Structure 1
Amino acid sequence: MNINTAITLTEREQQLKNLLLGAARFIDSADQDKKNEKVILRWAGGWVRDKLLGITSHDIDTAINSMTGESFVDRLREYCDVPAHKSLHHLAEGDIGRLHTVPKNPDKSKHLATSTIKLCGLDVDFVNLRKETYTEDSRNPAVEFGTAEEDALRRDATVNALFYNLNTGEVEDFTGGIKDMEDRLIKTPLEPLQTFLDDPLRVLRLVRFASRLGFRIEETAEKVMGDERVLGNLQVKISRERIGVELEKMLKGKKPVESLRLIDRLGLYHAVFTNSERKDMPKPDISAWSTAYECLDFLEQTDSPGSIYHLLVTNEEARYFAWSMVTLTPWEQLPDDPPLKSGKAALPLPTQAAREGFKAPNKLSDIVTAAHRHRAEILQLKKIVCEKKPEMAERDKFGVAIREWDSRGGHWRLQVLFAALVDVEERVGRAVGRAKREEVLLEWQTFLDHIVELDLMNAPSLKRLVDGKVLAKELGVKPGKWTGAALDVVMAWQLRNPGVEDPAGAIEEVRRQREELGF
């Protein structure tokens, strides 16, 4: 790969550059009597990397040599308040957004405040150049102003340590990042083990960048990424929220399977997908996990109308959830925790690994819980179809089940996908006398084709012909505990009689079952 280091700015990027340089001159002029160091601005890291690779980027990190990001933005606002400056830079309404400052939080490995503002249609972060010094007796570094080279050396990878100097218009490379880009290599600026011990989140960041860019990780770095000391620090030093942010970026990318391959191969699984607060948290056998995530990648790559993926993954949110759920398939081999003292079922292990491992949002956690608890029933219905048992013609049996799955967790399609991926992992990757993936997937395709044939893919959105009040009035009784079960009878009747809009038959069915319903 030949990297051209001459950066060509878009019209908006050029407008932003001129604005920032104008603000810097304004600050230098106002502070002339104080003999402060002149303000030098650099665009840093990911924007420079992506620009050199020809990748569009709308997020720009701006590093400042002599003042904090918040101070610079305050002075930038002063500069923009002058009408002549607005006119000079052709600033329209909305070109200067609101300032948002993310405070430092050393306990969560965020060691410096960052000021973010929308400028000229671009998201721009401002922070000062810094150096970080770590000591053995503290997990938080001492942070102070640094030079551009010191700032580059503290970064996670050489390809993320490049600067575009706004004052000179040149790319600055203090760590060999350009050569590493040419070699398609992810490499740490300093010695890898110490780099990861200082900030173990860098392990996941390197995984993300390697998978996103299609680069390989340097061998010496790979060897220590799964070091017990590094993984121990990952669990102690880094908040699970930040781990979740990195994982989300991986799984929402174009090639999430590459990230999971690296997590698997480098031995990172048990440090990420776990409840680190629980001392007795078990560790699942992940030797067959690859069969599940490789299967999901295969389904995604071979997506076509009517295919498993096409039927079960219907939008980008569902895609992210699907890739999140495939990280949890190994947990299905373990038995559930015993019930709680209250008698209530304990939270399933895969849900614990999601909620506490990478702080999965509640919506995703609910789907995982439902997928775990409904998996046996899903498998049973698939068996009925694949063995062509008489019950496969019972439209209400399938429709009621689908509605139940969806009402208890949502996204019933993803619950079925999870069951399919676990099935592949168990039968193709782990079982004695392993089945072929194509054979297992054919069963699931047959199952879904049958649901399509029954016209039940949208069963959860089917509305009842009557509600509880109307039903009670027609039966001449008061609503009570019987109402919910009676409405289920109505829905089952509707499913057996598709297209019928007159509710008389459904009401009569309820009347026939009044003794069983208890009214």
Structure 2
Amino acid sequence: MVKRNLDALGEDSISIVQPPSQIRKMSARPATQSVTQPATTTIDLTPKEAQLKDLLLDAANFIDESGEVEDSVVLRWAGGWVRDKLLGIESHDIDTAINVMTGEAFALKLREVCEHPNIVKKHGIAESDIGNLHKIARNPEKSKHLETTTVKLFGYDVDFVNLRKETYTEDSRNPQVEFGTAEEDALRRDATVNALFYNLNTGKVEDFTTGLADMESRLIRTPLEPFQTFMDDPLRVLRLIRFASRLEFTIDPAAEKVMGDPRVLDALRLKISRERVGVELEKMLKGNHPHKSLEYINDLGLYHTIFTDPSKTGMPTPDISNWRLAYDCLDLLRLNKTPGSIYDVLVRSDEAAYYAWVLAAICPWENIEDPKNTSKGKAPPPLVTLAVREGIKAPNKLCDITTAAHNNRGEIMSLVAAVSDKAPFITERDRFGMAIRRWDSKGGHWTLQVLYALLVEAMDTLGRESKEPGTKDKFLRKWQTFLDHLHELDVMEAPSLKRLIDGNQLVKALGVKPGKWLAQALEVCIAWQLRHPEATDPAGAIEEVKNRRAELGIPGN
């Protein structure tokens, strides 16, 4: 039966539709209006996309021929791939929606089809073209309301899932999910520009909402009435911000009006896991327009809902009236990056760039005094760390950087002031080098700790003195001078300084057993090494440790 059905599939050529002159103009209609016939347009496929389309259609034809389903299989590429394709953005993630069967059932049949020699030959399938089948379980807390199945095909990550409709209850963001029509599937999506389908059977884009018109208008709009859309799933508030900032679109004023509604914000606190909030924020801040994302969060009144510990009823709310100055300053530094500039020196990787935006986001917390630790145990994390740890479930590494940036800010500011005031000790290489090593040892990324201190001061100084001419230039010159001074001292890489002597060698040289004193004694050696950068023999460092034997608590011979 398999061979007969597969052999019956003809050598139909792939139909590549005509170019759309970007997006065809059409009259707008309300996003909530139900339509019988969707608006349509066409798009070009690349040869690889066309190859994939042809294979999937052959799999659908095989299923139709087998008589396993009553209605013909109709396949649609959905959502982000269609949107990006219309915008001229290449995407290698393709969601495939199926009308009459689950994604797993279709993917299993597809694998069966791909094992037939005629299909392998017809589509030029190499062994590396078809990857393993992966089932992704339903996970409502991660916004996965339905099982999906993923297969790597011709270099694309192709997800298979059935068309569905969703019904929400008042107390949960996890809907009841069942098979639905293409229109029902479109209406349950977060934005009209994400509700478009490319029908593989007809070769046309289908728009059951106002997606095409909104694409042309560069507008982010909800398919259904905004307030109910956000109350059903408050995560959509953050998703709309992410798409608007990433695509440089404008959010529909009707949606903006209710995104900061107290009822929506309460739902965001109660119905959304903080892990999911963190995932959305991370995608925003790792995108091409993180500044715009923070601007939306500020303007729409979302700050205190995102950057907080929702489990603590008495959590304070920082003053964010000058917060804009912090993220504006970071964006200014980024846009003016040149070799040796502040951003170039302090932000050294893509990971660091993401951390930098998170630090800019939490600057307002620096002006809230931490409560006094009344217990005898370990002090609790500072409030600024709680804001990222509990608010967006930041990983431990980012929490450690945040804590270190908070704890070390005072020392950083004092050294910046010393350089600015040309204090007598600023030529002491060991003073600066050892400080940098301390900062880095606590949380790593010492340069980001310096950036945090800069942004906190920008929020305060530029807000207080903004009317004075030249304030911003004077402020940035001070920090540039500080970094230039560190470069002149050649201490930028102090944390990775190669030791001239290790613990075993020092113990042997002193003729004593190791003890608690050893760590501090090794720091003395490093400080000596920083004062004598040309030295290759540790004898001088050993001598200094000997001279400070009593101070360091080193036992006698």
What's the TM-score bracket when you normalise by the shorter of the two chains?
over 0.9
- SS of equivalent to 1:118: strand
Aligned equivalents of 2:140, 2:334: Cα separation in 1: 40
What is the CA-CA distance between 1:163 and the residue it aligns to? 0.4
RMSD: 1.6
Matches of 2:440 and 2:69, distance apart in 1: 67
Letter of the 2:58 counterpart: G
What residue number does 2:59 align with? 23
Within the alignment, does 1:474 sit opposite 2:494 as a pair?
Answer: no
Residues 98-145 of structure 1 show CA distances to partners (whole Å, capped at 9, x for unaligned) of: 222222233554321122221110111111111112233554322111
What displacement does 1:159 show?
Answer: 0.8
| 472-481 vs 302-311, greater mean Cα deviation | 472-481
Q: Is 1:3 aligned to residue 18 of structure 2? A: no
Matched with 1:73 is 107
> Which whole-Å CA distance do the structure 2 matches of 1:433 and 1:479 have between them?
59
Kept after mapping to 2: 8 A contact 1:131/1:145: yes
Q: Aligned residue for 1:465?
A: 500
Q: Contact 1:107–1:237 at 8 Å: present in 2 too? A: no
CA distance in 1, matches of 2:193, 2:254: 16
State yes or no: 1:426 paired with 2:460. Answer: yes
* Structure 1 counterpart of 2:34: none
Number of the residue aligned with 1:442? 477
Read off the aligned partner of 1:200 and give its amino acid letter. P
Tell me which residue corresponds to 2:487.
Answer: 452
* C-alpha distance in 2 between matches for 1:91 and 1:235: 49
Checking the alignment, whether the CA contact within 8 Å between 1:337 and 1:346 is kept in structure 2 is no
Number of the residue aligned with 2:28 = none
Confirm or deny: 8 A CA contact 2:173 2:272 kept in the other structure: no
User: 2:171–2:271: 8 Å Cα contact kept in structure 1?
Assistant: no
Corresponding residue of 1:242: 276
Aligned to 2:152: 118
Residue-by-residue CA offset, 1:389-437 (whole Å, 9 max, x unaligned): 0110111000000011111110000110011000101111257987822
* Equivalent runs, 1:120-519 vs 2, <5 Å: 120-136=154-170, 138-339=172-373, 341-430=375-464, 436-519=471-554
More displaced stretch, 363-372 vs 339-348: 339-348
Checking the alignment, whether the CA contact within 8 Å between 1:108 and 1:237 is kept in structure 2 is no
More deviation, 488-497/439-448 = 439-448
The CA distance in 1 between the partners of 2:96 and 2:69, in whole Å, is 23
Q: Secondary structure at the match of 1:97?
A: strand
Larger mean Cα displacement after TM superposition, 404-413 or 127-136: 127-136
Aligned length: 517
Q: Secondary structure at the match of 2:168?
A: strand
1:324-365 deviations in whole A, cap 9, x for unaligned? 111110100001133262432210112111111111111111
Give the distance between the partners of 2:171 and 2:380, measured in 1 at CA. 38
Report the CA distance shift for 1:303/1:137 in structure 2 as closer, same or farther (over 3 A).
Answer: closer
Percent identity for Structure 1 against Structure 2: 63
What is the distance in 1 between the residues matched to 2:503 and 2:50? 64
2:464 and 2:226 map into 1 onto residues whose CA distance is 35
8 A contact 1:108–1:238 mirrored in 2: no
1:94 deviates by 2.1
Partner Cα separation in structure 1 for residue 326 and residue 535 of structure 2:
42
CA distance in 2, matches of 1:420, 1:107: 37
Helix, strand or coil for the counterpart of 2:138? coil
Aligned to 1:12: 48
Distance (whole Å) between structure 2 residues aligned to residue 484 and residue 344 of structure 1: 22
Q: Secondary structure at the match of 2:130?
A: coil
3-state SS of paired residue (1:357): coil
In the alignment, the residues of structure 2 paired with residue 424 and residue 462 of structure 1 have an alpha-carbon distance, to the nearest angstrom, of: 31
In the superposition, relative to structure 1, how do residues 132 and 62 fare at CA in structure 2: closer, same or farther (>3 Å)? Answer: same
* Partner deviation per Cα, 1:486-507 (whole Å, 9 max, x = no partner): 1011000000011211111111
Structure 2: gaps (5+ residues): 1-20, 25-40
Q: Using the TM superposition, give the Cα deviation of residue 233 of structure 1 relative to its aligned residue in structure 2, in angstroms.
A: 0.9
Distance 1:477 1:35, change over 3 A: closer
The amino acid that maps onto 1:167 is N
Contact 1:109 1:237 in 2 (8 A): no
2:132/2:151 contact within 8 Å kept: yes
Paired amino acid for 1:469:
N
Mapped partners of 2:218, 2:60: distance in 1: 36
TM-score, length of structure 1 as denominator length: 0.97
The residue type paired with residue 332 of structure 1 is: E
Task: Name the CA distance, whole Å, in 2 between partners of 1:59 and 1:228.
Answer: 36
What CA distance in whole angstroms lies between the structure 1 residues aligned with 2:397 and 2:47?
Answer: 40
**CA, structure 1 residues 107+205, in 2 after alignment: closer, same or farther (shift >3 Å)?**
closer
Residues 172 and 271, structure 2, Cα contact 8 Å, conserved in 1: no
Structure 1, residues 183-229: CA drift from partner, whole Å, max 9, x if none? 11111111100011001111111111111111111111100000111
Contact 1:101 / 1:115 at 8 angstroms: preserved in 2?
A: yes
Q: Are residues 481 and 137 of structure 1, via their aligned partners in 2, closer, same or farther at CA, if it must alter by over 3 Å?
A: closer
Q: Name which of structure 1's ranges 34-43 and 314-323 shifts more when overlaid on structure 2.
A: 34-43
Which residue is equivalent to 1:62?
Answer: 96
Maintained 8 Å contact 1:131/1:154: yes
Q: Is the 8 A contact 1:274 1:281 kept in 2?
A: yes
Q: Is the 8 A contact 2:326 2:363 kept in 1?
A: yes
Question: 1:301 & 1:417 partners in 2: Cα distance?
Answer: 15
Q: Which amino acid aligns with 2:476?
A: L
Deviation at 1:83, TM superposition (A): 2.6
Q: Distance in 2 between matches of 1:152 and 1:322?
A: 37
**CA offset digits 1:54-90 (Å, max 9, x no partner):** 1111111111111111111111111112232222221
Which segment is superposed worse, 489-498 or 15-24? 15-24
The code of the aligned residue for 1:356 comes to E
Alpha-carbon separation, structure 1, partners of 2:153 and 2:22: 32
